[in-house]
């Protein structure tokens, strides 16, 4: 009975700050400014299909880059001593202690036309590059801000990996490449899936990074929603419809990712 009572605060929190906001989004998405039921808001989302595609594409690119960079780094950290692990994890977490907006401003200073990088290029006789207000700058900002969310879940799985399984594979004649492909990689699948989800979801829905590093030429879904609620194109009904469609797309992507995790590899089994 006491355990049930202990759950009440969490239930109240979930209802007030999760369920109620979601119901409000659904309500505004299916009503017009007069409160009448309509499908026009959802039908109007179709005109922004290019924005959805751009957001998914850039988010997917950033996620892949984070995976390519994050997995080897998480693997190297997991292979070091305990004290070294603590130091390296702290260094990865350190930028996250700084305000998200300030970190993005720092990249503006680096990438702008008269920024630090272009000044260095000019000093060594190289031509200046157009880096700010490009899709590449947006992806770079995503990778920088969300890379820790890829490293930490994978690192957490790798540190819990049973070393006896790897030793057994080596005793059976597997070389380092086979051990990695058939033991380490399959057993780290839950961490990879968690990392991909934690990077892809905020990358697709971001608006600060695209607004500051991409300029007006790289409009993403987050910018579009921001415009409907806080911008000049004030239309909360359409903004709610866009948010609802985005939420459905994210749930579909998460469902697809979960299909790759059947729970067998995380139990230490070998993938033959």
pLDDT at 272: 33
pLDDT in tens, 13-53: 999 998 999 999 999 999 998 999 999 999 999 999 999 99
Whether 16 is in a domain gets the answer: no
Whether 3 is in a domain gets the answer: no
d(CA 180, CA 158): 12
Give the pair of three-digit tokens for residue 194: 């968690």
pLDDT in tens, 168-219: 888 788 888 888 888 888 889 999 999 999 999 999 999 889 989 988 778 8
Whether 240 is in a domain gets the answer: yes
pLDDT at 246: 92
Full residue range of the structural domain in which residue 156 is found: 49-267
Average pLDDT, the chain: 88
Mutual orientation of helices 135-159 and 82-93 as an angle, nearest 10°?
Answer: 150
| Tally of structural domains, the chain | 1
pLDDT in tens, 80-105: 988 899 999 999 998 888 888 899 99
pLDDT confidence band for 54 (50 / 70 / 90): very high
Whether 19 is in a domain gets the answer: no
Query: pLDDT above 70 covers what percent of the chain?
Result: 94
138: pLDDT strictly greater than 50: yes
Three-state SS across 189-229? HHHHHHHHHHHHHHHHHCCHHHHHHCHHHCCCHHHHHHHHH
On whether the CB atoms of residues 214 and 201 are closer than 8 A, the answer is no
Whether 139 is in a domain gets the answer: yes
d(CA 84, CA 55): 37
d(CA 240, CA 246): 10
Whether 204 is in a domain gets the answer: yes
Which residues lie below 8 Å from residue 108, measured CB to CB, with a gap of 6+?
A: 115, 132, 212, 213
Residue reference for tokens 């007006």 = 216
* Percentages (nearest 5) of helix, strand, coil residues in the chain: 80, 0, 20
pLDDT at 231: 74
Query: CATH no. for residue 89?
Result: 1.10.3720.10
Whether 95 is in a domain gets the answer: yes
Whether 175 is in a domain gets the answer: yes
Which residues lie below 8 Å from residue 268, measured CB to CB, with a gap of 6+?
A: 161, 162, 165, 187
């Amino acid at each position: 009975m006491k355990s049930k009572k202990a759950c009440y605060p969490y239930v109240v929190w979930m209802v007030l700050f999760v369920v109620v906001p979601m119901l409000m989004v659904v309500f505004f998405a299916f009503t017009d400014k007069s409160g009448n039921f309509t499908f026009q808001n959802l039908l109007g989302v179709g005109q922004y299909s290019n924005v959805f595609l751009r957001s998914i594409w850039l988010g997917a690119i950033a996620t892949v880059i984070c995976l390519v960079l994050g997995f080897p780094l998480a693997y190297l950290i997991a292979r070091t001593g305990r004290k070294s692990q603590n130091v390296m994890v702290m260094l990865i977490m350190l930028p996250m202690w700084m305000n998200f907006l300030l970190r993005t401003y720092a990249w503006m200073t680096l990438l702008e036309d008269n920024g630090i990088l272009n000044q260095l290029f000019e000093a060594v006789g190289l031509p200046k590059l157009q880096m700010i207000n490009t899709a590449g700058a947006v992806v770079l900002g995503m990778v920088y801000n969300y890379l820790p969310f890829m490293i930490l879940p994978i690192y957490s799985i790798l540190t819990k990996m049973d070393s006896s399984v790897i030793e057994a594979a080596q005793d059976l004649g597997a070389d380092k490449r086979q051990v990695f492909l058939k033991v380490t990689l399959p057993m780290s699948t839950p961490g990879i899936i968690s990392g991909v989800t934690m990077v892809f979801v905020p990358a697709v829905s971001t608006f600060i990074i695209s607004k500051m590093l991409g300029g007006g030429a790289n409009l993403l879904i987050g910018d579009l929603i921001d415009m409907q609620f806080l911008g000049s194109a004030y239309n909360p009904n359409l903004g709610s419809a866009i948010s609802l469609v985005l939420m459905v797309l994210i749930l579909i992507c998460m469902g697809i990712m979960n299909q790759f995790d059947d729970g067998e590899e995380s139990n230490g089994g070998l993938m033959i």
